[in-house]
């Protein structure tokens, strides 16, 4: 049997999903098919669908055509990986994502993030659609993440679980500064410059496993815990990005309020969430474009 030792750990036979050799192989596969050397990686969830339209596209791949890439089965998630430029900034952009609730192993869910790192990405922008727990948030608002509660991670459904490979990052990771302060500042500055300030907040996101929406008791618990928005993605991607040294920025697009009252008759559906996200696409596009202009000066400084 082919077993080998990585970091003092005896690995399982063959390559476990998302191990370094697989990630490197996928990155090499992509880099041999494009001349783009991306610096910014983007994961576009619901409501960020117009952002890929800003890209001067050089190459586009369907997720299903990329070896080992998890394929999205959710309506509204196109499942395309785009390489190109926004202005002069080389980007690698996922139009849609695969979620843990679709049945993937958590390591498979973050494979694209690790591939981004191996392709040269230094900064990452992640978005999701989320329900608002904070009473001051309205549908159509945006919440910049300053922190998260990763319920899956806390329960051990963690992409850092398993054999520790230093080529990704350390065994024991400090996560108290997971969301990059400079990028958060740029995002707030961009919202101010565009006159969007009243719709933008900073707060704490909670990732739950989904795919069901939360019960009233769960929503009340989350609010009591000081959580502002809740959704079914992002925290594991942010964790994997931070682990491998990428500067991470993430935000929630508030597509609905959470149901806090029994027998309220309030209804949440994926189609409503898609419609709310769609209404915000123009604003998000302008905002992301402004953040990227602000970021491009910093990227110039660290060009290799």
Ligand X SMILES: O=P(O)(O)O[C@@H]1C[C@H](O)[C@@H](CO)O1
The listed partner (ligand X, ligand HPA, none) that binds 233, CB under 5 to 8 Å by sort, is ligand X
Task: Write the DSSP assignment of 27-87 as a string of letters.
Answer: HHHHHTT-----SEEEEE-TT-TTGGGGSEEEEEEEGGGSTTPPPP-STT---EEEEEEET
Rounded to a whole number of angstroms, the minimum distance from the CB of residue 112 to ligand X is: 13
Counting contacts by CB under 6 A, is residue 273 touching ligand X? yes
**H and E: helices and strands count for the chain:** 9, 11
Counting contacts by CB under 6 A, is residue 112 touching ligand X? no
Counting contacts by CB under 6 A, is residue 97 touching ligand X? yes
Counting contacts by CB under 6 A, is residue 40 touching ligand X? no
Counting contacts by CB under 6 A, is residue 131 touching ligand HPA? yes
The listed partner (ligand X, ligand HPA, none) that binds 72, CB under 5 to 8 Å by sort, is none
Interface residue with ligand HPA, options 238, 240, 258, 292 (CB under 6 A): 258
Rounded to a whole number of angstroms, the minimum distance from the CB of residue 81 to ligand X is: 15
Counting contacts by CB under 6 A, is residue 274 touching ligand HPA? no
Q: What are phi and psi of 203, to 5 degrees?
A: -170, -165
Closer Cβ to ligand HPA, 130 or 292, answer by number: 130
Stretch of 108-116, 123-131, 238-246, 285-293 contacting ligand HPA, by CB under 6 A: 123-131
Q: State the Cα–Cα distance between residues 72 and 97, nearest whole angstrom.
A: 6
Three-state SS at 5: strand
Helix, strand, coil content of the chain in percent (nearest 5): 35, 25, 45
Q: State the Cα–Cα distance between residues 184 and 249, nearest whole angstrom.
A: 7
Residues with Cβ within 8 Å of 179's Cβ and at least 6 positions away in sequence, in order, are 144, 145, 146, 147, 148, 238, 248, 249, 250
Closer Cβ to ligand HPA, 173 or 275, answer by number: 275
Counting contacts by CB under 6 A, is residue 70 touching ligand X? no
User: Is-contact 153 161, C-beta < 8 A?
Assistant: no
Counting contacts by CB under 6 A, is residue 232 touching ligand X? yes
Positions that interact with ligand X (CB under 6 A): 45-46, 97, 99, 128-129, 210, 231-233, 270, 273
Positions that interact with ligand HPA (CB under 6 A): 129-131, 213-214, 230-232, 255-256, 258, 268, 273
């Amino acid at each position: 049997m082919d077993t080998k030792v990585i970091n003092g750990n005896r690995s399982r036979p063959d390559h476990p999903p998302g191990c370094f050799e697989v990630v490197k192989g996928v990155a090499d596969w992509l880099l041999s098919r494009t001349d783009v050397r991306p610096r910014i990686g983007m994961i576009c969830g619901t409501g960020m669908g117009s952002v890929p339209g800003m890209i001067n596209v050089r190459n586009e791949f369907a997720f299903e055509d990329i070896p080992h890439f998890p394929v999205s089965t959710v309506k509204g998630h196109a499942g395309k990986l785009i390489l190109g430029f926004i202005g002069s900034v080389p980007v690698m952009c996922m139009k849609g994502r695969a979620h843990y609730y679709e049945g993937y192993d958590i390591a498979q869910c973050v494979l694209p993030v690790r591939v981004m790192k191996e392709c040269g990405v230094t900064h990452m922008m992640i978005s999701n659609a989320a329900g608002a727990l904070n009473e001051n948030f309205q549908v159509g608002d945006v919440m910049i993440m300053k922190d998260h509660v990763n319920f899956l991670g806390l329960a051990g459904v963690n992409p850092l679980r398993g054999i520790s490979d230093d080529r990704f990052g350390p065994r024991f990771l400090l996560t108290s500064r997971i969301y990059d302060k400079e990028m958060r500042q740029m995002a707030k500055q961009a919202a101010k410059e565009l006159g969007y300030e009243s719709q933008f907040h900073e707060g704490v996101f909670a990732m739950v496993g989904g795919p069901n929406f939360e019960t009233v008791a769960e929503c009340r618990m989350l609010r009591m815990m000081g959580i502002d928005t809740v959704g079914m993605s992002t925290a594991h991607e942010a964790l994997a990005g931070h682990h491998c040294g990428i500067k991470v920025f993430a935000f929630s697009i508030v597509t609905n309020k959470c149901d806090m009252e029994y027998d309220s008759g309030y209804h949440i559906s994926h189609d409503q969430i898609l419609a709310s996200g769609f209404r915000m696409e123009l604003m998000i596009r302008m905002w992301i474009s402004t953040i990227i202009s602000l970021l491009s000066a910093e990227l110039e400084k660290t060009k290799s």
